[in-house]
DNA sequence: TTGTATGCGTTATCAT
DNA sequence: ATGATAACGCATACAA
């Protein structure tokens, strides 16, 4: 009666094959076994449709071949792409990935870390916002876009260089008076360096610039008022805008259209992230491209490769500029 | 030496609290225990920072509180949103979600099912394409957008009604001669009903229509040739286009722009899915909206609620029309 | 080389 | 109400 519902175990296989339990285990794990035995065991496995129980394996090995990904959601394109590439990189190493959408909730972030410990996962990759996040020392953690502590490696793109690059591009393309737009996250994280890099680049190239930083809770529409207030005689006083993300650039482009400003003739726009919808080869806008597949691979490597554990605590991967129709063609 | 690295176990807690193992277990699981014992155990748990080992739990209960999501990727917006909402729905039920990006690969889809069995997951939610997918009877499976067999419940939006709705909308908005565009997936799945629904709607409303179905491997650009060939004296012979997905609509809109056709004045476009980028409230285009959160919830409910197991094998959730700037305002 | 016995951490049964 | 013990399925050290 019982066996009807429960799956076959190694014991069942052993009985079926007429060998001992240990022999089956060896066959399953590819350890040397006499050929005649191996064949009988393999036949029994086929016949019973046996599958190892990874919970028993995990219990014994106290290793689960599983990692947790902490990420706000998979709806915003940058997160979605990151989740995809991390998932692939982990699967390639035969690791499974537990997805935990945190929705920017600090409590959720902390709870999922507790959950991860209970699940005895081998590591956590987290793009988190909780400023007080407690990370247990005995579970490997790789942070994305935010430095958490010296014992937690952080991976991000080179945000500062990205900001510089945006300024240089705008300068190269003839801009004289530019703006930096960003929605402010109160927490200190790596993407914040985009502003500093941009300012640095503007200064180096003698570009006039103005920055506008909105609060987290202010609506995107507030940017519209800002832009509107800089229109004199129907003409925007900026000839270039650097938006902290492609998402913001998407909004800004819509607003500029509404304000009858031509892009890129009147004003050029550069975003950040390198988003393209529907896996299109076209970008949403001209943009500073994050190397998302490389970031993903680096996170996984850092997490799983013991020898990398002691390495530098912040790894910045190079960014590139991509033309996306909202700047003049170089 | 050993205890330095391994986490504390119930035994350690019992020793620390000076009680028996079983007592600790009861406290952890909220079973009745004498108050004085409970307090001592709770203190010990705090002190040792004890966490239950879910692998041992899983081994004993042969239940993992984990489900697998099989999905092509999390980069395409529809999949991304589905993954997010399913993740939330599962987490709300205290279930964990193993994400498996299949990349449309039939072998991968099958392998992940095997993996799922080894992991003794409690169920699988799958949006799959493998026509020969073998689904083991003894693991609950819920399919999205494709009917696999009578023992596998399928959840999708009402694709046929969506097609009808698109035709009706175009008719209401004054179209006389419309087109249906789709990239053909060779497999038979629910979204294919959009075409039939659309044709049905066109016939009911006396709308002239033409359909163009590209092969899976043909490039999107082939649509451009199709459209171009229907331009006479600079004017497109269609005044309405129904695209099988918002992704296709996105491309078509770009092409129409290139062909100097004004949207929605010259030609109106309706897509399908209800995608909005960057969690924007704006849609990519006027579209038939799939109730993604409801689909997600229904999948989870079907998977976890035993009483629903025997229910109907195809559940169609209602769609709605949303204005997205590519049709005339009703 | 093959077989046996033990323990991983938890829960549930059964005496106490 | 509490405490000892067996069992879940697997891997391995050790004995044959």
Asked if residue B173 lies in contact with residue B207, where contact means CB atoms within 8 angstroms, the answer is no
User: Which of residues B29 and A4 earns the better pLDDT score?
Assistant: B29
Residue of least CA–C1' distance to D2 = B23
Helix H or strand E encompassing A148: none
Quote the CA–CA distance of B162 and B155 in Å, as a whole number. Answer: 15
**HSE-up of B185 (CA within 13 Å, CB side)?**
18
Quote the CA–CA distance of B43 and B57 in Å, as a whole number. Answer: 22
**HSE-up of A173 (CA within 13 Å, CB side)?**
27
Q: What are phi and psi of B122, to 5 degrees?
A: -80, -10
Domains for chain B: give ranges and CATH numbers.
10-52 (1.10.260.40), 65-157+293-317 (3.40.50.2300), 159-291 (3.40.50.2300)
Encoded tokens for B54: 């879910």
Q: What are phi and psi of B229, to 5 degrees?
A: -70, -10
Encoded tokens for B145: 């957008």
pLDDT in tens, B200-259: 999 999 999 999 999 888 888 889 999 999 999 999 999 999 999 999 999 999 999 999
User: Which of residues A301 and A309 earns the better pLDDT score?
Assistant: A301
Residues in chain B: 330
- Nearest CB among A53, A80, A98 relative to B96 is that of A98
Which of A22-26, A101-105, B206-210, B311-315 shows the lowest per-residue confidence on average (mean pLDDT)? Answer: B311-315
Task: Please give the pLDDT value at position B198.
Answer: 98
Interface of B with A in 34-73 (CB under 8 A): 51-56, 58-59, 62, 64, 66, 69, 73
Nearest CA to B125 out of A69, B234, B112, A138 is that of B112
Quote the CA–CA distance of A205 and A207 in Å, as a whole number. Answer: 5
Q: To the nearest whole percent, how much of chain B has pLDDT over 70?
A: 96
Nearest CA to B82 out of B127, B146, B128 is that of B127
Interface of B with A in 256-295 (CB under 8 A): 277-280, 282, 284
Give pTM, 2 decimals: 0.94
Q: Where are the beta strands (DSSP E) in chain B?
A: 66-71, 96-101, 123-126, 141-144, 154-157, 177-183, 208-214, 231-232, 235-236, 240-243, 268-273, 287-289, 314-317, 320-322
pLDDT in tens, A136-172: 887 899 999 999 988 899 999 999 999 999 999 999 9
Encoded tokens for B315: 């559940």
Does the beta carbon of B77 lie under 8 angstroms from any beta carbon of chain A?
A: yes
Asked if residue A129 lies in contact with residue A74, where contact means CB atoms within 8 angstroms, the answer is no
Quote the CA–CA distance of A282 and B226 in Å, as a whole number. Answer: 21
Average pLDDT for residues B5-26, to the nearest whole number? 86
Sign of CA dihedral A244, A248, A254, A258: negative
- Angle of helix B292-304 versus helix B77-92 axis, rounded to 10: 40
**B87 and A100: CB-CB below 8 Å?**
yes
pLDDT in tens, A170-215: 999 999 999 999 987 777 899 999 999 999 999 999 999 999 999 8
pLDDT in tens, B243-261: 999 999 999 999 999 999 9
3-state secondary structure of A126: strand
Residue A301 above 90 pLDDT? yes
Quote the CA–CA distance of B329 and A147 in Å, as a whole number. Answer: 49
């Amino acid at each position: 009666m019982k066996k009807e519902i429960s799956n076959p175990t190694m014991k069942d296989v052993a009985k079926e094959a007429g060998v001992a339990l240990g022999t089956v285990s060896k066959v399953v794990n590819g350890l040397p076994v006499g050929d005649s035995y191996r064949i009988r065991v393999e036949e029994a496995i086929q016949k019973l449709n046996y599958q190892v129980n990874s919970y028993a394996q995990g219990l014994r090995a106290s290793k689960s071949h599983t990692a947790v990904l902490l990420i706000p959601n998979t709806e915003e394109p940058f997160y979605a792409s990151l989740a995809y590439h991390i998932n692939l990189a982990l699967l390639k190493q035969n690791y499974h990935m537990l997805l935990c959408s945190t929705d920017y909730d600090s409590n959720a972030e902390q709870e999922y870390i507790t959950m991860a410990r209970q699940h005895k996962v081998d590591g956590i990759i987290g793009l988190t916002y909780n400023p007080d996040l407690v990370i247990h020392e005995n579970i490997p953690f790789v942070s994305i876009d935010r430095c958490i502590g010296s014992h937690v490696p952080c991976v991000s793109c080179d945000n500062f260089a990205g900001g510089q690059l945006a300024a240089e591009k705008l300068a190269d393309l003839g801009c004289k008076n530019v703006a930096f737009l960003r929605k402010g996250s109160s927490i200190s994280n790596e993407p914040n360096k985009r502003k500093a890099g941009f300012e640095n680049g503007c200064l180096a190239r003698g570009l006039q610039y103005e920055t506008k930083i909105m609060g987290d809770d202010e609506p995107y529409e507030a940017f519209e008022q800002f832009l509107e207030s800089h229109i004199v005689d129907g003409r925007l006083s900026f000839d270039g805008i650097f938006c902290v993300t492609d998402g913001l650039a998407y909004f800004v482009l819509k607003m500029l259209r509404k304000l009858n400003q031509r892009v890129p003739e009147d004003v050029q726009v550069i975003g950040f992230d390198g988003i393209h919808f529907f896996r299109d080869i076209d970008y949403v806008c001209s943009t500073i491209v994050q190397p998302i597949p490389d970031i993903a691979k680096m996170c996984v490597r850092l997490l799983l490769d013991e020898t990398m554990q002691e390495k530098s605590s912040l790894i910045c991967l190079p960014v590139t500029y991509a033309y996306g129709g909202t700047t003049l063609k170089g």
